[in-house]
Amino acid sequence: MTDFSTLLAELAKSAGLTPEQAEVTLGTLLGAMQLSLPSAAFAPIEQAIPDTRRLVAKGVAPLGGRTGEIAAVAGQVRTAEGAERLAEQLRRSGLSAEQVRAAAQWLVGQLRTGLGPGPADTLLTTLPGLQRLST
């Protein structure tokens, strides 16, 4: 498994982000996934992406860490409409639409590598908003 700093450097390079933007963006995407899935379904993602909990904490920090705002992220990768709201949150944090798309594409690739193509495709079927963000 790739270590945390290498993972963030790869995302930053792939999506044209600063290291801080990469950390917050990945944390936001993972946080939305975590809130959208049952714990058992999210567990393999925690195995595939190092330091997932730390990343999720970084991703919700720009939302102020307030329960209502964090809950508002829940479900945002389950639907295309939700994905648009999530993309808007990321754009408000300073990312371009292309950077959001590139980050989501990178995450989908990491999930395919870490989980395997079959489980990753099943996950993407469950979370079509994530697929939408990446196209």
**Residue ranges covered by each domain of the chain:** 4-133
User: Residue 67: what pLDDT?
Assistant: 44
Range with top average pLDDT, 2-6, 7-11, 54-58, 70-74:
7-11
Least confident piece of the model among 10-14, 61-65, 90-94, 115-119: 61-65
For domain 4-133, give the CATH number. Answer: 1.10.490
- Looking at residue 102, what is its pLDDT? 97
Cβ burial of 30 (10 Å; 0-12, 13-18, 19+) is buried
Higher pLDDT, residue 87 or 63: 87
Selection from 101, 86, 131, 80 nearest residue 17 by Cα: 101
- CA torsion, points 126, 33, 107, 119, in degrees to nearest 10? -40
Tokens of 69: 């705002």
CB 73, CB 32: distance < 8 Å: yes
Token output for 127: 């979370």
